[in-house]
Amino acid sequence: MVGQVSATIISVAWYDYVPIAIYFVLVLGIGFLGRRHVSNALDFLLSGRSLPAWITGLAFVSANLGAVEIMGMSANGAQYGMPTMHYYWIGAVPAMLFLGIVMMPFYYGSRVRSVPEFMLRRFGPAAHLVNSLSFALAQLLIAGVNLYLLGTVVRAMLGWSEWITLIVAAAIVLSYITLGGLSAAIYNEVLPFFVIVAGLLPLTLVGLHKVGGWRGLVDRVTASPGGAGQLASWPGQALSGFSSPVLSVIGIVFGLGFVLSFGYWTTNFVEVQRAMASNSIRSARMTPIIGSFPKMFIPFIVVIPGMIAAVLVPEVVHHKAAGGPAGQSVQWNQALIYLMRDALPNGLLGLAITGLLASFMAGMAANISAFNTVLTYDLWQRYVRKDRDDRYYLRLGRLATVAATAVAIFTALIASGFSNLMDYLQTLFGFFNAPLFATFILGMFWKRMTPAAGWSGLVLGTLSAVAVFVLNETGVISLPGQGMAFLAASAAFVVDIVVSVVVSRVTQPKPEGELVGFVYSLTPKERRTDPGTARYPWYQRPVPMAGIGLAIVIALNVIFA
Amino acid sequence: MTQTEPPSGTTAVRGYDVRYFIALALGLIGAFLVVVALVAPAQPELQKTGGLHANLWTGVVMVVVAAALALWARLRPMLIERHGDDATLTTEAPPHAGG
């Protein structure tokens, strides 16, 4: 059953384009200014160095609050309800606090600036090559997710066919990048956060008003398919796909909480670099800790609208009653767009669309620029053509931008095959982040781990996650929901650790002198501590603030259990 | 509270403070929503939102937030502290009292 390609989901009034225009004129304008008049102060701001912790903290969350988060988490909210909160209160927030308290002092002290750089200097070229290739591939696939979602919005507005939409959306992103949309990085990251909140908060409030407040939502969700189980976050069997509640809790805590989330937040240097830009260990540690405060409340404007859509929007109610079958014109991913259609008047609709477009474009632009850097400098310059001038690599970077955008059209088609994008995305994180996290953490704390263990653990870890995926696809094991991704990630993690330990036993480690700064026990304590911290008031110190964050997130877990 | 001169060794970042930039975007979009609320016919809006003047409320809140951000940026300008080649940007009061 294919929906009418010519029908638009949302009917846009001419003035809905006004906020879109305001936003992009501002963003492209600042990018343009940044390139034309490089004043001292502006230059300084745009380079993103040494910013106050509240800006880097917001940029940190904002870089993650992209397409995937908004559409994926609302899709998850529509399909599973409150168990989706685990992504925030078991997943992201504890991982961000862990990053701020434990990992950041080490990163800052070791002066490592990227994951490939850490791999190269800790394990040598083989692990670096494996990691760079897998990182480049992951960026292309995730750029496809962003492009697909951008296309979904454009399509809902204009009703074009999928191919045309994807090609046009790709062209828009490409011109955004070339017009300097990336040069004002910090502006581009902090601004979408405010615009998205300004769009999603009214959507949530109006939606709640329409279902009769919180009470009304509770009653309606209880009466809907999935029932009261969707109102409590635990044990979340529908989300994990495990029929046993105990296994479900273990799956969520270990698979989602530990491997996927800790793995994502501690090795995602696209985000960690926001914190490294700060001027002291204290500010670097404050960045994810400050970021965790908005992060823990974001599900209220993302997951709750998804749940509202599932009881309010006729198409989504129908889809849910039918058991959410694949291959229909309605998908879980569209839950938010349908709710926007039903609850937002023209005007606010334009604002909400602006927020979505802004985050998808910033997200995809970030993926493509990360791909560029790795392809040009980590792969091409190191392994293919070493000694060319800067112009050569700049030109290569431009070619890579165009090529990556074109490839993203095809990876977007892969993404479009998943009715709930979170299934796809968590699978990708299982392939790429889980083994990386295992290698990273073991290499950091165990000085005996050898270069051969570094690359072989990564390769076999990734392969075992792929194996779980294939077994699930071919029906040998059957885990609905996101349980497959949790299992794949856990398998990748365990296999990576086992392989690394076994291989390390039979191969030569690097001499200790070369590992200073890359292994915890060999890094001098002075490089990991900030003596200035004690002079600051408690609300500017990492440990007290992380304690408060932890207390709030525990309270949220208990209240909505 | 009056605006003070930046302490010696620091330069205030005025025009390009990210808070002014956010305030500008939120203020313009908020003002746009208020205009829509005043000009566009109310009936379709109220029907969609179940009786809430959503455009007006959101617009007003956005303008207020924008004003607050701009005020914050004005009262506590972002300072670039220079220590030789090294420079840091801060809105925090220096930890050693005074300032």
Confidence class for position A51, pLDDT limits 50, 70, 90: low
pTM, 2 dp: 0.83
CA angle A263, A268, A273 (to 5 degrees): 140
Residue written as token pair 């003002």: B31
Which of A45, A348, A536 is closest, CB to CB, to B18? A45
pLDDT, tens digit, for every residue of A101-130? 888 887 777 766 677 878 888 898 999 999
SS3 A337: helix
| Chain center to CA of A59 | 13
Residues A298/A65, Cβ–Cβ less than 8 Å = yes
Most confident of A166-175, A288-297, A482-491, B40-49: A288-297
Residue written as token pair 């390009």: B16
Give me the phi and psi of A121, to 5 degrees please. -85, -25
When pLDDT is averaged across residues A535-557 and rounded to a whole number, the result is 88
Confidence class for position A182, pLDDT limits 50, 70, 90: low
* CA Rg value for chain A: 23
Minimum mean pLDDT range among A13-22, A261-270, A379-388:
A261-270
* Residue B35, both tokens: 């205009």
pLDDT, tens digit, for every residue of A135-160? 899 889 988 988 888 888 888 888 78
pLDDT of residue A47: 47
pLDDT of residue A46: 45
Query: Widest CA span of chain A, in angstroms?
Result: 69
Pairwise CA distance, residues A1 & A327, whole Å: 7
CB spacing of A194 vs B57 below 8 angstroms: no
| Residue A424 scores a pLDDT above 60 | yes
Confidence class for position A184, pLDDT limits 50, 70, 90: low
Residue A519 is classified by DSSP as B
pLDDT of residue A41: 46
| Residue B83 scores a pLDDT above 60 | no
pLDDT, tens digit, for every residue of B48-76? 888 888 899 999 999 999 999 999 888 87
pLDDT of residue A415: 86
pLDDT of residue A24: 83
Question: Which candidate in B45, B53, B88, B91 is best for mutational testing of the A interface (most A CBs within 10 A)?
Answer: B88
Question: Is the model more confident about A247 or about A371?
Answer: A371
CB spacing of B36 vs A55 below 8 angstroms: no
pLDDT of residue B2: 41
Residue B64 touches partner A, C-beta closer than 8 Å: no
* Residue A326, both tokens: 């694949």
pLDDT of residue A157: 82
B54 to chain A: which residues are within 8 Å by CB?
A: 202, 205-206, 344-345, 348
| Residue A40 scores a pLDDT above 70 | no
Question: Is the model more confident about A498 or about A330?
Answer: A498
Pairwise CA distance, residues A480 & A423, whole Å: 9
Q: Mind telling me how many Å the CA of A134 is from chain B's nearest CA?
A: 35
Listed residue (A72, A200, A68, A209) closest to A144, CA to CA: A68
How many Å from the N-terminal Cα to the C-terminal Cα in chain A? 39
SS3 for B10-74, per residue?
EEEECCCCHHHHHHHHHHHHHHHHHHHHHHCCHHHHHHHHCCCCHHHHHHHHHHHHHHHHHHHHH
B91 to chain A: which residues are within 8 Å by CB?
A: 52, 54
Residue written as token pair 């069997």: A237
CB spacing of B25 vs A22 below 8 angstroms: yes
Closest CA in chain B for residue A55: B18
Count of beta carbons in the 10 Å neighbourhood of residue A96: 31
| Residue B96 scores a pLDDT above 50 | no
Minimum mean pLDDT range among A203-207, A213-217, A255-259, B94-98:
B94-98
Residue B60 touches partner A, C-beta closer than 8 Å: no
Q: Which helix (H) or strand (E) holds B78?
A: strand B78-83
Which of A23, A44, A532 is closest, CB to CB, to B89? A44
CA angle B23, B27, B30 (to 5 degrees): 140
Residues A190/A196, Cβ–Cβ less than 8 Å = no
Pairwise CA distance, residues A332 & A325, whole Å: 10
pLDDT of residue A304: 92
Confidence class for position A2, pLDDT limits 50, 70, 90: very low
pLDDT, tens digit, for every residue of A303-362? 999 999 988 888 888 888 777 665 566 678 888 888 998 888 988 999 998 988 888 887
Confidence class for position A458, pLDDT limits 50, 70, 90: very high
B96 to chain A: which residues are within 8 Å by CB?
A: 535
Question: Which candidate in B18, B86, B96 is best for mutational testing of the A interface (most A CBs within 10 A)?
Answer: B18
pLDDT, tens digit, for every residue of B7-42? 555 555 555 677 888 899 999 999 999 999 998 887
Q: Which helix (H) or strand (E) holds A27?
A: helix A17-36
Question: Is the model more confident about A20 or about B84?
Answer: A20
Confidence class for position B1, pLDDT limits 50, 70, 90: very low
A532 class by beta-carbon count within 10 Å (0-12 exposed, 13-18 middle, 19+ buried):
exposed
The tally of CA atoms less than 13 A away on the side-chain side of residue B3 is 11
Minimum mean pLDDT range among A189-198, A323-332, A411-420:
A323-332
Question: How many separate helices (H) and strands (E) can be counted in chain A?
Answer: 27, 0
List the alpha helices (DSSP H) in A313-420.
314-321, 335-343, 348-373, 390-416
When pLDDT is averaged across residues A177-201 and rounded to a whole number, the result is 75
A344 to chain B: which residues are within 8 Å by CB?
A: 48-49, 54
Pairwise CA distance, residues A180 & A175, whole Å: 9
On average, the pLDDT of chain A sits at 82
When pLDDT is averaged across residues A198-221 and rounded to a whole number, the result is 89
| Residue B43 scores a pLDDT above 60 | yes
pLDDT, tens digit, for every residue of A474-496? 877 777 667 788 888 889 999 99
Q: Mind telling me how many Å the CA of B96 is from chain A's nearest CA?
A: 7
Count of beta carbons in the 10 Å neighbourhood of residue A15: 16
Pairwise CA distance, residues A488 & A491, whole Å: 5
SS3 for A166-200, per residue?
HHHHHHHHHHHHHHHHCCCHHHHHHHHHHHHHHHH
Pairwise CA distance, residues A455 & A47, whole Å: 33
